[in-house]
Structure 1
């Protein structure tokens, strides 16, 4: 397979590199040009992080008010204990039960713009989610999310398919198919022989509940237990997509995702053995530690925990329920690749480095940009190409 020589979106091609045996480079290891890019992109990321953290603060306000009610605080304490107990088992089969039956998928042609971008056959698929909340106390609430309980994805499929399929999971708030298709150069992957699936996370895009102020609002609007169940549903519904792909004859599946999608893809790689290669891109692996740096959202979370009387050790234990650091990956070491941005301040590169250590120091590539401006993206796309080729086509 040839490597990409042009991208739909222009991005500076300033080389990054693979991590060494000791991990990501120190500042002194970088060239002057790389240091300038890392520093300037980090400043830009801090401004974006503050904006998103302010939005999340407003989103989490109802859960803070709920913490004032003694009955609600007691219920939240019980829910923390529930997820902490599940996490302590370290058994993904128990924590994330598999769908019991394949989905009944409906498919229709995507809009002409999508087909023009892909230069091929593009279908929008949907089906009813079979997800039942893992926590019995959350089942009634989760069942009431009408729009969220319809799963959406976009499938770029060759007429002579099925082909080896590259699946992509978007980041928080970033669910638009067109943006993700262009940003990740999916038309190039499609023309190189891959079928492509773009999966919509819970509460995003068409799955956002009516009157949601933004895509992804529901992920953080229902307290800690709501986030846990959103992650459980993200895993469950994606496994239903895998059931659909398997039914259509797909036998080679690779998975990548950015930010929240990187977090989800890393978790899925510990849950379903049909994922033969995985590439988390700028992933978060301990959301609680990341939010600790997100002012003013960190203050809102701290206030909520203080009002509810939540024990910090219990919160940490419960957070591990959906962390990929809590489970062993299923793809072989040589089928794991992690990508990190040194200037990233939304998903700091130390998060990716923690995953790298947990994943037995697998392949690890860095670029000098931030969370959104992936300086050297052509470089890491070439790295992805070399990584995926032997798994998907040989």
Structure 2
């Protein structure tokens, strides 16, 4: 069975949805209506801890000392609660390399069943960046979607990403969906340009956002299974060859000792991003997620060894540090808190609160924006179906 999606339809729907959101979102000028330009505003509150530069940690009695880490940015968080135990320049925008594939998987996995088969076309393999990692997807060959996902998670195959993105409606549509997914998760530092993580102007994420993606991925059984797979067979027509996960903390390859209890998630490297890693491990009923971005010393193994030291510290620090933030979006945390915990300068929310409507303003509440976007999207789908008129192939 070969899946055929109309790129024009997907893009049209995405654009229409975006238009719906923009049309219903409050105009900043309108939101400011009714305020006195000459009146003094409220005093500025200090930024939440994780938005400050430098290392953020609140040790209690008996807390272990943080290890020496050369990475430009890193985060240690509890995967179950979302509490951030420590971080360094956690919201610093940096190129993510292939760790951005965590967001790609979060976005596309739910809509592409693993058992579906697809025959790859030449067009689906065009535009892959020079020097990209590949798993060996070939034009004219038929693969199960599950094979392609193993190519993404184990070999970090950009060729597999291109095919899956094509099945999902196209490269641009997938990037737009990933951007929306990041914002829905409260990951506001991420800008998606190339869904495979290949270096592209303006494409950034942060240690905080990557930790959000890793935590969310572990809650998806398919994601968790793929990212923990050490070895698999990849089809090549009438035969198959072995592929191995490039996450050395998982496999113990190339002189890096495997980390006890490691359960994934994803590593990456480009010349612009340096080495990046999202790693998760389970010990004693506790699961930690650690992100490390661009170590400045220690060579090619540094990203793994620095993640190892941060995982060790995180498990040893259990109950001995106060959280400095949370991977849970502020709006979600507020909805479940009873009563809401007061924010403090040292342990404020990890993400900025939703933009308020100024006094006297007429901004729409968030629910209205979402409803408007949904309505616009539904209208776009209906219009697209009418325009198709039986056309099932990509235009």
TM-score, scaled to structure 1: 0.26
| Higher Rg | 2
TM-score, scaled to structure 2: 0.26
Which structure is higher in helix share? Answer: 1
